[in-house]
Structure 1
Amino acid sequence: MRPILTPLLLAAALPLSACAGFTHAPEVATGLVSHQLCSATFISHLDPDQTYREALAPVLGPFAGMVGHRVDRAKGEVTASLGPLSHARAIYRGPLGCLVIRGAAPAPVALRDTPSAPPLLAPVAGPDIVTPQDPALIAALDHAFAEPGKITRNIKAVVILHDGRVIAERYAPGVGPLTPLHGWSMTKSATNALVGIMVAQGRLDMDKPAPVAAWANPADPRHVITPDDMLRMRTGLKLGNSANASTNSAVDISARAMFAERDMAGFSAAAPLDGVVGKSFAYADGETLILSRIVRDLAGGDAASVHAFMRRELFDKLGMTGAVMELDATGTPLGGSHLYAPARDWAKLGQLYVQDGVVGGQRILPAGWVDYSARQTPGSEMIGYGAGFWTERGQGWAVEHRRQNGLPADSFMARGSFGQFMLVMPKDHLVIVQLGPSNSAGGDIDGLFQLTRETLAALAAKPVAGS
């Protein structure tokens, strides 16, 4: 058990928690700690104390010493406490990941997965780590794992995939090609794929009112919100700001949905309008949670059905055997933030987009879906966002900054908090994955810039054979 809190800090926290907007902050904090440590311990098999130091303490900031935790490996659970303010317990549910128990625990889920079919995507590597022979690529990996001193990067994995084969990769101690790693908001890009599959199968129309029960009444101003609006973060709903995770996240609406609510999508769908539907851009996890509920409902309406759908239609076809998408108590995927997958599996997801949604001669995503996903959303110029991906195919300060620092003009990326990246470069037939809980204010994007520049330079100077 970590030290709980000093009397002085507790005295400061008690009145803070009672202020408007802070009521649920202690629940968010303990929910975050118990959930993340549960997933790190039982999905990724990482050391929970190291995870706390690297991934959680920087987020909790001055409150890091206030939150205690205990890992019970025998029971498969993690508890976290913030003195008398809040207590949370997360349990491990195998293929369904971890879940913070709020209210009654959900009934056990009897999975109905069919045996995995051979993947349509060709193998990207053999069982051994691919160590490049090209000195330029070796240097690129050295630089990717370097610690400059001013910040702590904590890089856990880098995978470089070219022409569908891993040409270089490296892992931190305790991490390897089979270690599932947290992608945070990179998960939104996997949800993009699941939504695209639903569209390809004729189950969902992106431009019609979204099938959300809470908005079914045509008189409800939210009735006109479409799945496209949700994927592009322009619903106008009051769902907070998920663009920058920090201590302030404890009072963010979407953070409350994920770490303090039992029905995450239901809580998000109840939000009122705070902007103009189809025009007001605001990056928030809650929109993808609602979209994930739609995926669950269309897949069959329960945890077993949506788990089977995700495995059968996406993960198995790409050979993403290590992928774990966590679900909430209602069986809704945490599609905005909680996919764990080995770095190679993340690269396979990127390869699907390099290949325009086609693998093994089979079209998985609709024709035009990749370009649709990478097309910049009007109003997102401050960050350069498409539909489930960050994009360089647009304009605005953020896009220009990324392009000037080496990201190709046709590229787009899955991006998650604390330095999680999957950069897709179709013209170069290239995917770069960089994962690790950086405490850099920019999420270590400078590291991605350098890795991308050096990789492209190495490929331009000398063709590199696959593993």
Structure 2
Amino acid sequence: MKSKVKRRFTLAAIITLMALTAILGFVFYQPLMVASGYSSKEICSGTFVSGMDPDQIYADMVKPEGAIRYINRLIHFDVNRDKHKVTTTIAGFYKTQAVYSKGIGCMLVHKPEDDHLAASADFITQIGPSNSQTPEIVGPAAIEPRNEQLSTALDRAFEEREQAPYIRTQAVVVVKDGEIVAERYASGIEADTPLLGFSATKSVTNALIGILVRQGKLTIDQPAPIAAWSNESDPRQRITIEELLRQTSGLALKQTSSGFDPASRMIFLERDMAGYAENAELVTTPGSQWAYTDGNYILLSRIIRDAVGGRASDVRQFAQRELFGLIGMNHVTLEFDATGTPNGAMSMLASARDWARFGLLYLNDGMSGTNRILPEGWVKFSTSQTLDTGYGAGFWINLTTSGNAPYGLPWGMPHVPHDAFFAMGNMGQQIVIVPSQQLVVVRLGMSHHPDGLIAGADRLVADVIAALKDDQQIQ
């Protein structure tokens, strides 16, 4: 009798355990797939675009990110250098793959045909040499700091902690009066190494939209040209391009970077990122509330794609001809989804010098040499305050007391001049533009400590300004 009761108890326990496992598998399916997709995609880009060691990328970029640190022992990734592919699994499940192709970087594979799509003629287009007429900001050799104080400023930026979370500064470039006056790179990083900008990519999307406005193909106050919203009864039809730029669209595309949120799903689980974003419901009146999300910039990316021809190759040619080539950005990789839409929210890689050239474009009011790249007034528009935030329209502005900033970060940099504005990305990507100082400071890295995030950028830029001021007084 006892034996039968024991068997029944054991069977019930097994059934209960299986049910709990199924429920947990269902609940955590999305965040685990997001974690797997993030691992595949970023290791792929870091390995095949930036040329870095994949184990180091995992240690610095993937393992410390969010809740991944709690499951990192379950994550396994494989880098196939012959097929230019990265495959990730978690506990043997939740498999994702990312494939690299020259010119478009890495793309997550959602269907078997995506493997071959990345190598198709639609994606691979030969890009001609730079047609820049901009004065060169530096020669081929790395520029040593021009004075001891500037050298000390860079020393502080590269100081590392003895234990996690680490700062992991990869590159710093300082441009004063149009010329590089100091630069430094971590071991394994060169002046031409493309580095991921994360959400600093949104500022590049701002530029591409600006160019289309200058060309008369778009206006900022027009309803966003998205076919899914074309029905007059659809309230989303009222969303303008400006509201997408300013993160005030009102769409239900919440971004928490938890893996559970719609924005994470869009980037790492959806084959058609913009298709997913355009199906989001409207939850607040457009223009009334600020809510930061990659979704708005994915929709802008689709608008750019459709405006220039509809294919990935059209986007690459447009960006090279109208932006990168004109300002001398020679080491750029803009990445795409499988539908040919660029990930203009968070996935462009460029060398630190190229990010500095991009900053100079905005420092010089959208001019590059004698070429007007951006419309007159575009920089002022892009850096004008949105509601009560420290955000403009694709750039952050140096307001340190407005509202509540996302992710627990301060809006601005209290020790830097008020007129500064900046492109900013996850893990401490900063392109800081200070018009009153004729200064651009680029800081790139894989940081998980405040000293590598906006607080670190505040200290770095303040140190640089003080060092250059002392230098001028000595001269």
- For 2:384 and 2:20, locate their aligned partners in 1 and report how far apart those are by CA, in whole Å: 46
Correspondence for 1:124: 137
Equivalent in the alignment of 1:95: 103
Distance 1:142 1:37 in 2: 28
Matching residue within 68, 88, 97 for 2:76: 68
Which moves more between the two structures, 222-231 or 79-88?
79-88
Contact 1:192 1:388 in 2 (8 A): yes
Deviation of residue 12 (structure 1)?
A: 9.2
**Shift in Å, 1:82:** 1.4
Match in the other structure for 2:88: 80
Q: Does 1:347 align with 2:353?
A: no
Of the candidates 317, 320, 327, which is equivalent to residue 336 of structure 2?
A: 327
1:221-274 deviation digits (Å, cap 9, x = unpaired): 1001011010100010010125xx4xx2x1121111111110011111111112
Pairing partner for 1:145 from 158, 175, 185: 158
**Equivalent of residue 181 in structure 2, options 161, 164, 167:** 167
Q: Which amino acid aligns with 1:378?
A: L
Distance 1:453 1:197, change over 3 A: same
Give me the whole-angstrom Cα distance separating, in 1, the residues matched to 2:91 and 2:467: 53
**Counterpart position of 1:189:** 203
1:225 is aligned to 2:231: no
Q: 1:11, 1:316 → 2: CA distance? A: 57
The CA distance in 2 between the partners of 1:230 and 1:401, in whole Å, is: 22
1:413 is aligned to 422
Map 1:227-376; keep pairs closer than 5 Å.
227-241=241-255, 245=257, 248=258, 250-376=259-385
Query: Residue in 1 aligned with 2:4?
Result: none
Give yes or no for contact 1:376–1:394 (8 Å, CA) kept in 2: no
Alignment partners' CA distance in 2, 1:18 and 1:200: 48
Call closer, same or farther: CA 1:114–1:178 in 2, change over 3 Å.
closer
Amino acid at match of 2:187: P
Q: Quote the Cα distance in structure 1 between the aligned partners of 2:348 and 2:73.
A: 28
Aligned-partner residue type, residue 146 of structure 2: Q
Say whether the 8 Å CA contact 2:199–2:345 is kept in structure 1: yes
1:423 maps to which residue? 432
Q: Which stretches in structure 1 are left out of the alignment for 5+ residues?
A: 1-9
Cα distance 1:11–1:141, how it changes in 2: closer, same or farther (>3 A)?
A: farther
2:402 pairs, out of 396, 402, 422, with 396
Alignment check: 8 A CA contact 1:391 1:413 kept: yes
Q: Which has the larger radius of gyration?
A: 2
Q: Is the 8 A contact 1:109 1:303 kept in 2?
A: no
* Alpha-carbon distance, 1:375 to partner: 0.7
**Cα drift, residue 408 of structure 1:** 1.4
Out of 38, 49, 53, the position equivalent to 1:47 is: 53
1:26 aligns with 2:32: yes
Matched position secondary structure for 1:95? coil
> What secondary structure sits across from 2:98 in the alignment?
strand
What SS class does the counterpart of residue 407 from structure 1 fall into? coil
Aligned pair in 2 of structure 1 residues 126, 14: CA closer, same or farther (>3 Å)?
farther
Q: What amino acid does structure 2 have at the position aligned with 1:422? A: I
Letter in 2 for 1:138: S
TM-score (norm 1): 0.91
1:441: Cα distance to partner?
Answer: 5.4
Residues 213 and 165 (structure 1), Cα distance of their counterparts in 2 relative to 1, 3 Å cut: same
Partner residue of 1:3? none
Change (3 A) 1:207 1:50: same
The 1:441–1:66 alpha-carbon spacing in structure 2 relative to 1, beyond 3 Å, is farther
Contact 2:43 2:57 in 1 (8 A): yes
Taking a change above 3 Å as real, the CA distance of residues 12 and 366 of structure 1, as seen in their structure-2 partners, is: farther
Q: Are residues 128 and 448 of structure 1, via their aligned partners in 2, closer, same or farther at CA, if it must alter by over 3 Å?
A: same
Q: How many residues align?
A: 446
Q: Is there any run of 5+ residues in structure 2 with no aligned partner, and where?
A: 1-17
State the TM-score, normalizing by the size of structure 2. Answer: 0.90
| Distance in 2 separating the partners of 1:13 and 1:69 | 24
User: Does the 8 Å contact 1:417/1:443 carry over to 2?
Assistant: no
**TM-superposed deviation, 1:149:** 3.8
Secondary structure, counterpart of 1:463 in structure 2: helix
> Does the CA contact (< 8 Å) of 2:171 and 2:184 recur in 1?
yes
Question: Counterpart of 2:457?
Answer: 448
Which residue of structure 2 aligns with residue 5 of structure 1? none
Which residue pairs with 1:7 in the alignment?
Answer: none
Counterpart secondary structure, 1:366: coil
Identity %: 39
Give yes or no for the alignment of 1:109 onto 2:121. yes
Distance 1:442 1:13, change over 3 A: farther
Shift of 1:89: 1.0
With over 3 angstroms needed to count, the CA separation of the structure-2 counterparts of 1:464 and 1:360, relative to structure 1, is farther
Check conservation: 1:225, 1:277, Cα contact below 8 A: yes
Q: Secondary structure at the match of 2:433?
A: strand
TM superposition shift of 1:118: 2.6
Following TM superposition, by how much is the alpha carbon of 1:26 offset from its aligned partner in structure 2, in angstroms? 2.1
Residue 454 to residue 443, structure 1, CA distance change in 2 (3 Å): closer
Distance in 2, matches of 1:442 and 1:104, equals 43
